[in-house]
Amino acid sequence: MTYSDGTSSKHTIDDIDASNFILSWTFFEGDALMGIINTATHHMKFIPSPNGGSVFKQTFVIRYKGDAKQMDDVINITKEAIKNTFKKMESYAIAHPEVY
């Protein structure tokens, strides 16, 4: 995948369970890993809610290279990027209900 800023990363899909609304994938190569992360696995689940919406839950499993330590700024940047992505998706869905 190539991002708008020109950086790139490689991903693999680990699991798709459409009946339970689950998706897992792993970043395993590229700029997004910043040279200190071996892999970053994302586990996503969408849980239908009674009001017609859904609850989104995501877990990250980050495996660092060698003796590299967890960096809080990496976690915060990732959380912020995902939050912004979902805000944009929500805005698009609200503005274009005919797509869904």
* Residues 41, 77: Cα–Cα separation, whole Å: 16
Q: Greater confidence, 23 or 79?
A: 23
Q: What pLDDT, on a 0 to 100 scale, did the predictor assign at position 20?
A: 95
40-61 pLDDT, tens digit per residue, is 899 999 998 898 888 889 898 9
Q: What is the mean pLDDT of residues 30-36?
A: 79
Q: What pLDDT, on a 0 to 100 scale, did the predictor assign at position 51?
A: 86
- Which CATH number, 3.30.530.20, 3.40.50.1000, 3.40.250.10, 3.40.50.2300, labels domain 9-99? 3.30.530.20
Query: Residue 31: which pLDDT band, with cuts at 50, 70 and 90?
Result: confident
Query: Residue 74: which pLDDT band, with cuts at 50, 70 and 90?
Result: confident
Say yes or no to pLDDT of 100 above 70: no
Instruction: State the average pLDDT for the chain.
Output: 87
Q: Burial level of 40, CB count in 10 A (0-12/13-18/19+)?
A: buried
CB neighbours of residue 32 within 10 Å: 19
